[in-house]
């Protein structure tokens, strides 16, 4: 399992919506393989960043290239 990271968007550190953990695993998600074609937007080739809560598994999905990631110190 990948090492957990902390993640921030626009300088705000993200906490899990469910369990309030600040530790995530990161996974790139291709939007065009995510069943979103019906939205007919110009992001067919775009990818999103999935932040998967390290503790409860909830996936926070961001279409934002400026997510800041930092290794959790262990
Ligand atoms: Zn969680």
Name the DSSP class of 2: P
- Which pLDDT tens digit goes with each residue over 19-57? 999 999 999 887 765 555 555 555 556 788 999 999 999
Contact, 49 vs 5, CB < 8 A?
A: no
Residue 48 is predicted with a pLDDT of 86
User: Is a pLDDT exceeding 70 seen at residue 71?
Assistant: yes
pTM (two decimals): 0.77
Å from CA of 42 to ligand 1 middle: 31
Interatomic CA distance for residues 33 and 24, integer angstroms: 22
For the chain, how big is the Rg over CA atoms in Å?
13
Q: What is the domain partition of the chain in residue ranges?
A: 5-71
- Taking the alpha carbons of 42, 44, 48, 52 in that order, is the dihedral positive or negative? positive
Which residues are placed with Cβ below 5 angstroms of ligand 1, an ion?
Answer: 16, 18-19, 21, 53, 55-56, 58
């Amino acid at each position: 399992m990948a090492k957990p990271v902390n993640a921030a968007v626009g300088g705000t550190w993200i906490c899990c919506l469910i369990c309030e953990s600040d530790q995530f695993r990161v996974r790139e998600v291709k939007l065009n393989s995510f069943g979103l074609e019906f939205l007919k937007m110009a992001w067919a080739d775009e990818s999103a960043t999935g932040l998967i809560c390290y503790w409860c598994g909830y996936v926070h999905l961001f279409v934002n290239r400026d997510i800041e990631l930092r290794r959790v110190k262990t």
